[in-house]
Amino acid sequence: MKGILEDIKTGQLKQAYLLYGEEAYLRKQYRDKLREALGGDSDSMNSHYFEGKDINCGEIIDLAETLPFLAERRVITIENSGLFKKGGEALAEYLAAPSESTYFVFVETEIDKRSKLYKAVQKLGRVEEFGLQDEGTLKRWILGMVKKEEKKISESTLNLFLDKTGTDMENIRGELEKVFCYTLEKDVITEADIEAVCTHRVSNQIFDMINAIADKKQKRALELYYDLLTLKEPPMRILFLIARQFNLLMQVKELKGKGYDNKSIAEKTGLHSFVAGKYVAQCGRFKMSELKQAVTACVEAETAVKTGKMTDILSVELLIVQYSA
């Protein structure tokens, strides 16, 4: 990221940039910074945007060979194309000797570093990965925005906020705007403010549901399930998330049994450290045999739906009833 900022600051811009990774917010931020620096945002005649899997590389190459109209550069932005996994060979060959006046900005979630297009961009320009940010980085980013609004937030309230929003920076930014609007006349953001305005993620609902199942609170577990259905969450996605939760709990329980601390467990499972502690506490309420049985039951429930033996809504409901009885 520092490399891109340095290019923009010095004006020594590369002819091709590839921005990729799971963090969509950062990808978009740096895409827009580059487009502005290249002059693409303010020049509709020489700025072109393509998105999706059906991009015609021949058309892109023809466009790239066209001289810019009364401008220094022609800027072509290509997003979510999949060309860095398959089908980008022709474009890779073109980038070996492109028109000097044409600049490319590629934006992708997933790429294959073995692809010819990846290697071509790497040779011609700059490749930057935007992965999910760690807990410390997210907290510093949030605190910076809170300070800018001349407000304060405690560590416990900040942890609650992250627990609600998850680690997606775009979601964090949107939820924080809601909090700022809600606390317009206040200097301090409290846990009550977070509870009042922040959206409860589906994954949090699933976590609460598993808690209710562990506590044998069947009514509460079913209420959470019906809430998800009301929110138009597909039953099979709910089943997938339940299975994923039990799988994670198995991993956490095994690592805890081997003596790993919460920080190490977070690193090995991909959980953030402020979430890992909750998983450690939750897995302690199950025996390993129960977790394994639950994962198997999730597979059986999916099979029952796919073979037409049971409806999707009923299969998940019976699973919840079985383990919360």
The separation between the first and the last C-alpha atoms of the chain, rounded to the nearest angstrom, is: 52
Three-state helix/strand/coil letters over the chain: CHHHHHHHHHCCCCCEEEEECCCHHHHHHHHHHHHHHHCCCCCCCCEEEEECCCCCHHHHHHHHCCCCCCCCCEEEEEECCCCCCCCCHHHHHHCCCCCCCEEEEEEECCCCCCCHHHHHHHHHCEEEECCCCCHHHHHHHHHHHHHHCCCEECHHHHHHHHHHHCCCHHHHHHHHHHHHHHCCCCCEECHHHHHHHCCCCHHHHHHHHHHHHHCCCHHHHHHHHHHHHHCCCCHHHHHHHHHHHHHHHHHHHHHHHCCCCHHHHHHHHCCCHHHHHHHHHHHCCCCHHHHHHHHHHHHHHHHHHHCCCCCHHHHHHHHHHHHHC
Q: Does domain 135-197 have CATH number 1.10.8?
A: yes
Mean per-residue pLDDT over the chain, rounded: 90
**What predicted TM-score, i.e. pTM, was given to this entire model?**
0.67
Q: What is the pLDDT of residue 41?
A: 62
Question: How far from the centroid of its chain's Cα atoms is residue 324's Cα?
Answer: 31
Q: What is the pLDDT of residue 180?
A: 95
- Round to whole Å and give the CA distance between 48 and 63: 9
Residue 45 has pLDDT above 90, yes or no: no
User: 127 and 118 in contact (C-beta within 8 Å)?
Assistant: yes
- Round to whole Å and give the CA distance between 48 and 37: 15
Angle at 147 between CA 145 and CA 152, to 5 degrees: 115
What fold, for 202-324? Zinc Finger, Delta Prime; domain 3 (1.20.272)
Span 255-264, average pLDDT: 89
pLDDT band at 100 (very low <50, low <70, confident <90, very high): very high
pLDDT band at 307 (very low <50, low <70, confident <90, very high): very high
**DSSP bridge partners of 188:** 152
Give CATH for domain 2-129: 3.40.50.300
Q: What is the pLDDT of residue 43?
A: 67
pLDDT digit string, tens, across residues 114-171: 999 999 999 999 999 998 788 888 999 999 999 999 999 999 999 889 888 888 898 8
Domain positions in the chain? 2-129, 135-197, 202-324
Query: Quick one: what percent of the chain has pLDDT higher than 70?
Result: 98
pLDDT digit string, tens, across residues 197-237: 987 777 778 878 888 888 888 999 899 899 888 878 889 98
Give the residue, 60 or 274, on which the prediction is more confident. 60
